[in-house]
Amino acid sequence: MKTRAILFLAVLFICFSNVKADTWKTIDFPGSTKTDVRGISDNNIVGNYNDDLGRHGFLYNGTTWTTLNNPVSVNGTSIYGIDGNNIVGCYYDYSGTTHGFLYNGTTWTTLNNPGATYTEAYGIDGNNIVGWTEYSGVRHGFLYNGEEISDPNNWALLDMPGAIRTEIHGIDGDNLVGCYVDTNGNIHGFIYGPDVVPEPATIVLLITGLIAGGFFLRRKK
């Protein structure tokens, strides 16, 4: 009986010794007044921090902190997403206008939706980049397929039916997530993709849109 008890305790010890407890860890860029973590890919973490000189992007691999400032930025750099070695975000020019960018570890590429006033890149998955862009004061979500930047056909504008503003913040395969503002000024989150079952209210808005003016959906390549 004693032997069985010892064996039972030994089994319990082995089982529970392999269970890892979830842990919260604060991550602050050294010397910063504010740190905002925005994305993770494997062991690499990206985000933004503020100091006396302004706003900067960063890359943290668990050991080393690397400041990432877009070389053409004047009023700051913000980093929002990472996939492998590719990082996306936005930078600010003299007037405070935002421009999206893609940084692959060597080259900074500006991402401006053709004809738009503002562009901010928030998420990346492979060649596909998402974010928001603004035309005539109206903010739209976008999906950019990574091909010729100046060709409008490579940028798909995506708006939640009935919304007055749409932003896309993340992408994983065919699924997109973000937020939108309704006609009452309330902010809601959303997920958009081929396998998503829409809420009843969204179905009504979609049908209304179809009747009123038709519906166009450009699928990403």
pLDDT digits (tens, 9 = 90+) for 84-142: 999 999 999 999 899 999 999 999 999 999 999 999 999 999 999 999 999 999 999 99
Mean pLDDT, the chain, as a whole number? 87
Domains of the chain listed by start with CATH number? 27-213 (2.130.10.150)
Task: List beta partners, residue 37.
Answer: 47
Give the pLDDT score at 195.
Answer: 75
pLDDT digits (tens, 9 = 90+) for 59-95: 999 999 999 999 999 999 999 999 999 999 999 999 9
* Helix, strand, coil distribution of the chain in percent, nearest 5: 15, 45, 40
Q: Where are the beta strands (DSSP E) in 69-181?
A: 77-83, 86-92, 98-103, 108-111, 118-125, 128-135, 138-144, 155-158, 165-172, 175-181
The model's confidence at residue 21, banded by pLDDT at 50, 70 and 90, is confident
The model's confidence at residue 196, banded by pLDDT at 50, 70 and 90, is confident
Give the pLDDT score at 212.
Answer: 43
Mean pLDDT, range 182-194, rounded to an integer? 97
Lowest-pLDDT choice from 11-20, 26-35, 149-158, 193-202:
11-20
Among residues 103, 153, 107, which one has the least CA distance to residue 124?
103
